[in-house]
């Protein structure tokens, strides 16, 4: 959605500037449109992009670690033995882009973690299942939802 916001803001602000009638303060109106467009781009495109770019996932056979944040860092660790279900959802647009939303439910204190805009979602989901299988090798356990 940040990419869609980027395109819409650029098109809308360009149209406003192009169709703006000439008047005494048209230079200041153009500057105002530009400032508003930059503000909207910052809030709806640049900040979400920075958040997405500064989110990392580390997957081992023992834990799944999610690190997020631009200025402040937040780190969530989920022990693989606590993961109950994993699901992947993709809208039509996400399918075309090859990304999606991964939902990990665990018996740990985090409960449910929703990870949005994961690139190559099916590969990540398959890798997560492999890690789950590695974590439970030799352990009798009942897992649901896979």
**Model pLDDT, residue 139:** 54
Q: Where are the domains of the chain?
A: 2-52, 56-136
Among 61, 4, 13, CA closest to 38: 13
**Model pLDDT, residue 100:** 92
> Rounded CA gap, 120 and 84, in Å?
22
State yes or no: pLDDT of 65 exceeds 80.
yes
Among 118, 32, 124, 108, CA closest to 76: 108
CATH fold of 56-136 reads PH-domain like (2.30.29)
Q: Rounded to two decimals, what is the model's pTM?
A: 0.66
State yes or no: pLDDT of 57 exceeds 80.
yes
Strand ordering across the sheet containing 63-68: 56-59, 63-68, 74-79
pLDDT digits (tens, 9 = 90+) for 40-52: 999 999 998 898 8
Listed in order, strand segments (DSSP E) in 1-140 are 56-59, 63-68, 74-79, 83-89, 99-106, 112-119
**Model pLDDT, residue 112:** 87
Chain position carrying tokens 């048209």 = 26
């Amino acid at each position: 959605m940040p990419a869609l916001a980027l395109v819409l803001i650029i098109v809308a602000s360009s149209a406003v500037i192009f169709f703006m009638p000439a008047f005494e303060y048209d230079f200041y109106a153009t500057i105002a449109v530009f400032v508003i467009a930059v503000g909207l781009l910052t809030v709806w495109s640049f900040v979400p992009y920075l958040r997405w770019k500064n989110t990392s996932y580390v997957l081992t056979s023992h834990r799944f670690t999610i690190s997020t944040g631009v200025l402040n860092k937040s780190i969530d660790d989920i022990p693989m033995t606590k993961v109950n279900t994993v699901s992947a959802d993709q809208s039509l647009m996400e399918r075309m882009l090859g990304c999606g939303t991964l939902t990990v439910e665990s018996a740990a204190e985090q409960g449910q973690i929703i990870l949005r805009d994961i690139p190559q979602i099916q590969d990540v989901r398959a890798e997560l299942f492999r890690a789950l299988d590695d974590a439970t090798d030799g352990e009798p356990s009942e897992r649901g939802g896979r």
